[in-house]
Amino acid sequence: MRHGGLLLRAVATPSRRYYAQRAASTAATSGSGMTVSRHAVATEAKEVFKLMFGTFTMLLGGGMGVGYAVENYKRMHPPMPPGQLVEITVQGHQSLVHAQVRGGGRVPVKGTVLLDGSLGETSFDWDKVMAALPDDTQVIAIDRPGLAFSAPSPFARTSDMISKEYQQVLTQLQVTGPVVLVGHGTGGYHMRQLAADLASSSDVSVAGLVLVDAMHESVNPALKAISPHVQEALAARRQNAFTLLKMSHVGLVRLVHTLQSKRNAARFSTTSMPFIDYFTPSPPHRRGVVHENDAVDAIEEALTTSPLPILQVPIVVLSHGNRTMFESMKMEPGITDEIVDDMEAQWANGQTALTKLGATCIHHILKDAGHDIPHEKPDAVAKAIVAVLDDAHGDATNGLQSLKVME
């Protein structure tokens, strides 16, 4: 047995001579200057790439599967909206519009404020402004149809259509005025249209408008005329809305939204965050953004070819002043610092054009504010709103004259 055990050990264990010969062979190969062939390196690299790509594809596929499941779960378990669901009927179509109504707790109520955000923005974007307004004002912020908690509309999202929808909301909420119409960005188009439509109505009186870094129909053509690179960059930005819609179906937009949680927490109140987290990355909301995006050209063409009449109510224009609105455009090919400066100049020209839309106008440039004024400078917006209401009540001290000392 002992002899047999030695035999097995000899077979299972390489001899010292084997290791010595292998070491000598390796040393000879190294010393001779021989190298691994390029073909071998390329083959090895291809195999590594295949392995990495396969792993990435597997992880991406798994992530997309999870994202799709999460989106379906969210869709099937929506939270209860914090505001009112107002039933409206426009051109024979019935739908529910979500409106947040606050204030008006102090009697008598000085007036009503209607807040309308820019493209894709919702009632929640006015959180800080609503909180800054006094109790003797009734404040209404609406999710336009197709956004957040409002049902989608079968009609194009033109200012003319949105004005009809807003008139229905005001009627259902029994608002008679005086009303201050406030529009941010493209929301300025809708509020201008609504003011013109209400001017011929005896049901609701308009006290004035506050246009918060609002769009003017002359700006987009002027921007495109700067450079072909600007045209391409703007077209790419417009396409982003559709790309985000596609990505939202598999949860990728929700993932990015989650990664931006700190930024979102700084923009919105803690009570609003659960609602923001629910609808902002969702496919229905992203589809609503696409529909609004698609209507911008038609809105601007209508205002250019058939201008609205000069409004016989005061207008306050609040504009951004820190010149960062187009900074991110420098990521696009061919967009230089000089081009960004030209774009800012064209935006400023549009702000000046807004001041010519009413019989009385006050223009303030908020030097340390960007385009996101409702979030960055809510007190300035609230002060302008209150001044318009005070002026409508004949209070010269606290009315429009008080805005001349705004910083």
pLDDT digits (tens, 9 = 90+) for 356-366: 999 899 999 99
Which residues share a beta bridge with 362?
A: 316
**Residue 407 pLDDT:** 43
- Name the pLDDT band for 45 (thresholds 50, 70, 90): low
Measured CA to CA, the distance from residue 396 to residue 400 in angstroms comes to 7
Measured CA to CA, the distance from residue 97 to residue 88 in angstroms comes to 7
C-beta separation of 180 from 388 below 8 A: yes
SS3 104: coil
Measured CA to CA, the distance from residue 207 to residue 222 in angstroms comes to 32
Mean pLDDT of 84-91: 97
Starting at the edge strand found earlier in the chain, the sheet holding 111-116 runs: 84-90, 93-103, 137-142, 111-116, 179-184, 206-212, 315-320, 361-366
Give the phi and the psi of residue 292 in degrees, each rounded to 5: -65, -40
**Residue 202 pLDDT:** 75
Identity at 141, one-letter amino acid code: A
- Name the pLDDT band for 38 (thresholds 50, 70, 90): low
**Residue 234 pLDDT:** 95
Which residue in the block uniquely carries the two structure tokens 């033109």?
A: 158
C-beta separation of 144 from 165 below 8 A: yes
Tokens of 404: 């001349």
The pLDDT of residue 228 is above 70: yes
SS3 79: coil
Which is more confident, 395 or 55? 395
**Residue 47 pLDDT:** 60
The pLDDT of residue 51 is above 80: no
Chain mean pLDDT for the chain: 87
Question: Which CATH superfamily groups domain 84-405?
Answer: Alpha/Beta hydrolase fold, catalytic domain (3.40.50.1820)
The enclosing H or E element of 43 equals: helix 38-76
- Name the pLDDT band for 48 (thresholds 50, 70, 90): low
**Cα–Cα distance list, 29 to 15, 35, 41, 155, 233 (Å):** 22, 9, 18, 78, 58
Residue spans of the domains in the chain: they are 84-405
Q: Which of 37-51, 153-167, 220-234, 307-321 has the lowest mean pLDDT?
A: 37-51
- Going through 35-108 in order, the beta strands assigned E by DSSP cover 84-90, 93-103
Mean pLDDT of 258-271: 92
Mean pLDDT of 329-355: 97
Which residues share a beta bridge with 179?
A: 112, 206
Which residues share a beta bridge with 38?
A: none
Mean pLDDT of 232-247: 94
Measured CA to CA, the distance from residue 273 to residue 170 in angstroms comes to 27
359: which residues sit within 8 A by CB, 6+ positions away? Answer: 310, 311, 312, 313, 314
Mean pLDDT of 220-233: 97
Q: Which of 94-108, 185-199, 326-340, 372-386 has the lowest mean pLDDT?
A: 94-108
**Residue 201 pLDDT:** 80
The pLDDT of residue 12 is above 50: no
| pLDDT over 70 percentage in the chain | 81
Measured CA to CA, the distance from residue 196 to residue 306 in angstroms comes to 13
Measured CA to CA, the distance from residue 397 to residue 157 in angstroms comes to 40
Q: Which of 5-14, 80-89, 131-140, 340-349 has the lowest mean pLDDT?
A: 5-14
**Residue 29 pLDDT:** 42
